[in-house]
Structure 1
């Protein structure tokens, strides 16, 4: 089974993008992480990319198109629907969690507040996706 190595992060926070890049560099130097700060731009890229990412990490609260709207479009697109989407948000609101799963998110993580805890969180996420069977590969 191929190990997931290609990840996309859709998050408007430059700081969170930087933290994710640092975490991936430390935990999975063989992984690629492509970051987008707008949902529409990410969707355009995903629809035209020659190779699909293994997993998408998606924030909820973004200007323009919310993470929920991006998730809806991903799951409505037959070419993208099988890509696992991990919601990675500061919101732990039960309504947000429920909505994400209703829209077929694969997982929901509340962003850890400190880098050390965030690193552990990303490490656990990477471990999970390394062991998971991916339908789209």
Structure 2
């Protein structure tokens, strides 16, 4: 008989960079993290340009990036290309969190090196579940420890 043990990831504290220009979406992710009783640090950037300034600060290297595609100044795909050209930053797992289910967007992101592509569901509970699964996965992934 095989006994499976649940792995507790609640004690793992991630630095999560959210790059999102919509204040409601920022609030939604914050609420989801609180609802899930996770103790992650959330760093916010309104666009790719602001995120690059944050990432150039030595003391701020996030464990995971949630990236929206449709933003002003530098859009999500442009930001992703810049990120993946940097010798240090290219290893940060970047997950697209968007409303776009356009096949070209999905393929362009994966060909650029995205770690995941999540379409924001309309129902809040579905959104919370997707965030939970994603953060749980990256909380136990060895790349975060490397």
Band of TM-score, shorter chain: over 0.9
- Give the deviation of 1:131 after TM superposition: 2.5
- 1:29-48 alignment, distance < 5 Å: 29-48=38-57
Q: How far, CA to CA, are the matches of 1:79 and 1:58 in structure 2?
A: 18
CA contact (8 A) 2:13 2:39 kept: no
- 1:73-112 alignment, distance < 5 Å: 73-112=82-121
RMSD: 1.6
Number of residue pairs matched by the alignment: 136
Report the TM-score, using the length of structure 2 for normalisation.
0.87
Q: Deviations over 1:53-105 (max 9, x none)?
A: 10000000001111001101111111211000001110011110000001000
In structure 1, the gaps of 5 or more residues are none
1:122 is paired with a residue whose SS is: helix
Q: How far, CA to CA, are the matches of 1:130 and 1:49 in structure 2?
A: 22
- Structure number with greater Rg is 2
Q: How far, CA to CA, are the matches of 2:12 and 2:117 in structure 1?
A: 21
Q: How far, CA to CA, are the matches of 1:136 and 1:30 in structure 2?
A: 17
The equivalent of 2:70 in structure 1 is 61
Q: Deviations over 1:37-65 (max 9, x none)?
A: 11101111111141311000000000111
Q: Which runs of 4+ in 1 moved over 4 A?
A: none
Q: Does 1:52 align with 2:72?
A: no
Report the TM-score, using the length of structure 1 for normalisation.
0.92
Q: How far, CA to CA, are the matches of 1:125 and 1:28 in structure 2?
A: 15
Change (3 A) 1:4 1:69: farther
- Give the deviation of 1:3 after TM superposition: 3.9
